[in-house]
A and B are shown apart, each in its own frame.
Chain A
Amino acid sequence: KAGVTQTPRYLIKTRGQQVTLSCSPISGHRSVSWYQQTPGQGLQFLFEYFSETQRNKGNFPGRFSGRQFSNSRSEMNVSTLELGDSALYLCASAWSSGSHEQFFGPGTRLTVL
C-alpha cells in the first residue's frame, strides 16, 4: 500500500513569489492535513480538508490556502512568500476528518531567498 506522497520534495523560491505544493493521500483516505515544521516553532497545524471542504484551520495568515480535489488529492498554496515561510511542509492523511491516526508524507522542503 503506497504511502503519502508529496511533490516536489525540494523547492527554492524568492520573496514575493507564490508556490503550490501537492499531496496525494493514502488510497481510501479522505482527510488531508497540512503542517509547517520549522526549528523555531516546531510542528504547526495549517489546515485540514475532508471531502473537498476545509474542516479545520490553524493560526496562519490568509496567504496560506489550500484545496482538495474529488480524488482526495490536496494542494497548498502560499502567496507573496516571505523569508519566514522557509520550512518543511508536511501533509498527513487519515480515513476521515478528526481521525486520530494520521500518516505523514516526507514533506516538501521550501526555501525562500
Chain B
Amino acid sequence: QQQVKQSPQSLIVQKGGISIINCAYENTAFDYFPWYQQFPGKGPALLIAIRPDVSEKKEGRFTISFNKSAKQFSLHIMDSQPGDSATYFCAARSGGSYIPTFGRGTSLIVHP
C-alpha cells in the first residue's frame, strides 16, 4: 500500500525553467511533509519541509505548495539549474508514528 504517491517519475527541464513535482497522500494523520534531494552516490538530504498549517513555504528557489483539502503537496524549483539534477523524494510523517513514508522519487534532469 503506497501511502504517498509521487509524480512524475522523471522530469527533464531546460535551464532556467520551472520544475514541478507532485505528491499525494492518503493518511490525514500526516503532519510533516519534507522533501529530500539525493545525488548519485549520496544519501538523501533534507531540502525543505512544511506542516499542514501553512499553504506555502519558500526557501530560495525552492517552494512547497500544500493543499490540505486535496491532500496534495508539490515542490517547485524556480530557475532550474544543471546542478539541481538529482532525484527528489517527498515524504510524510505523523506525530503519532515516527515512521516516515516516502514517495518513489522523481529523477530530475536540467539541461544546460
Contacts and interface: CB of A to CB of B under 8 A. Distances in A.
Interface of B: prevailing SS: loop
A95 interface: no
Given A42-B102, A45-B100, A48-B98, A100 B41 contact: no
Contacts, number: 47
Interface stretch (A62-70, A74-82, A101-109): A101-109
B60 interface: no
A43 B99 contact: no
A106 to B, nearest CB: 5
A87 B92 CA distance: 22
Interface residues of A, number: 22
Interface of A: prevailing SS: strand
Contact of B98 (A43, A90, A98, A104): A98
Nearest to B51: A100
Given A100-B32, A100-B49, A90 B99 contact: no
B15 to A, nearest CB: 27
Interface in B51-88: none
Given A42-B103, A106-B41, A101 B46 contact: yes
A51 to B, nearest CB: 14
Size range of the interface on B?
20 to 34
A100 B99 CA distance: 10
Contacts of B43: 4, 90-92, 104-107
The residue in A44, A91, A104 that gathers the most chain B C-beta atoms within 10 A of its C-beta is A104
Contacts of B89: 42-43
21 contacts: A4-B43, A42-B89, A42-B102, A42-B103, A42-B105, A43-B105, A55-B98, A56-B97, A90-B43, A90-B44, A97-B98, A100-B32, A100-B34, A101-B46, A102-B46, A103-B45, A104-B36, A105-B43, A106-B41, A106-B42, A106-B43
Given A92-B43, A103-B45, A104-B43, 13 more contacts: A4-B43, A42-B102, A43-B44, A43-B91, A55-B98, A97-B98, A98-B95, A100-B32, A104-B44, A104-B45, A106-B41, A107-B42, A107-B43
